[in-house]
Amino acid sequence: MTDHRSKAPLYDTLAEAAKALANGRRAELVDVLAQGERSVEELAGEIGHTVANTSQHLQRLLGSGLVRSRRDGTRIYYSLSGPVVLTLWQTMRRAAEEHVAGLQQLADDYLGDRSRLATITRDELRDRLRDGDVVVLDVRPEPEYAAAHIRGAVSIPVQDLKSRLGEIPGGADVVAYCRGPYCVYADDAVRLLNRNGVIAARLEDGFPEWATAGLPMEHSEASAGG
């Protein structure tokens, strides 16, 4: 019979990925990196931590094999080590949504009232893109759009939308999307568009889910790393 002393280290190592994600800030980092490669400095800004603290979290993710890094001059860029990491994060998130008490209330507290926001499913958006009767706005930061985006989408980061409303064709139906179900950028964009008389809806989740479903997207040679 196999010695359990040999089995225990195997399972301990298998659990390293879950242990690395057992921290809210590291989960946030994986959520951002699901959009594409980013520098340490950009990631620090996204999670509201210092570069030093963010680097520590990234080293933990790097040590577990969930992310990889590359150096470009004086900057270090990080990305997910493979598609399975996104699958792991999405599965962990879904398990929490289905089984963790109080999670929905926490989400509502953060996201606010979404009851008046129109939504559209991935399949519905795919069909409307095929028909060419909708304007799709990617309201994520520009480096994320450059890494990959829904085919035909226009990049207008949410913080620039108010000053760029004139770029949206009059009478157009608009669909805004961002990082995923817990990203507020698309919510904010839809509310702003509605206040200015534009018919707008939010994609039901975000770009990573669109990509995972194998729906049409585009890659750009430009990236966060230049």
CA distance 70 to 190: 36
Backbone angles phi, psi at 97, to 5 degrees: -60, -35
Buried b (16+ CB within 10 A) or exposed e, 173-194: bbbbbbbbbbbebbbbbbbbbb
Question: Among all residues, which ones are annotated catalytic?
Answer: 178
Q: Which helix (H) or strand (E) holds 200?
A: strand 199-203
Strand, helix or coil for residue 38: strand
